[in-house]
């Protein structure tokens, strides 16, 4: 899990850089928070992120983008009717 999470953080920071996103918000997981903060710092430093870029780690209920992602993931995993309801909402990161 740690390696996959590190790779996701790295890919998210790269995408943030490519799109000049001002911030990146991760869902708080207290069991890996220390590692997440370390990964965020190291990857954003390595990629020389733009000056106003910032990152936060927040509980899922405090940021709509976090709970919406959970709802989309639930619909996708449920399949059938629920997956069809997502329609164009689903986009591969590779397509962005």
Q: What pLDDT digit, counting tens, does each position of 50-69 carry?
A: 777 899 999 988 888 888 87
Residue 92's pLDDT band (boundaries 50, 70, 90)? low
- The SS3 call for residue 27 is strand
Q: What is the pTM of this model?
A: 0.69
Where are the chain's structural domains? 1-58, 62-96
pLDDT score of 26: 93
pLDDT score of 91: 64
Tokens encoding 40: 């965020």
Q: Is the pLDDT of residue 32 over 80?
A: yes
Dihedral over Cα of 19, 26, 38, 1: its sign: negative
DSSP 50-78: -TT-EEEEE-GGG-HHHHHHHHHHHHHHH
Per the prediction, the chain carries an average pLDDT of: 86
Looking at residues 82-90, what average pLDDT do you find? 80
């Amino acid at each position: 899990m740690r390696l996959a999470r590190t790779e996701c953080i790295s890919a998210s920071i790269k995408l943030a850089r490519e799109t000049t996103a001002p911030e990146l918000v991760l869902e708080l997981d207290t069991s890996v928070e220390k590692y997440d903060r370390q990964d965020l710092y190291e990857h954003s430093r390595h990629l020389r992120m733009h000056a106003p870029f910032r990152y936060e780690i927040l509980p899922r209920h405090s940021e709509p983008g976090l709970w919406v992602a959970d709802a989309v993931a639930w619909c996708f995993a449920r399949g059938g009717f629920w997956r069809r309801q997502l329609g164009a909402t689903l986009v591969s990161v590779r397509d962005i």
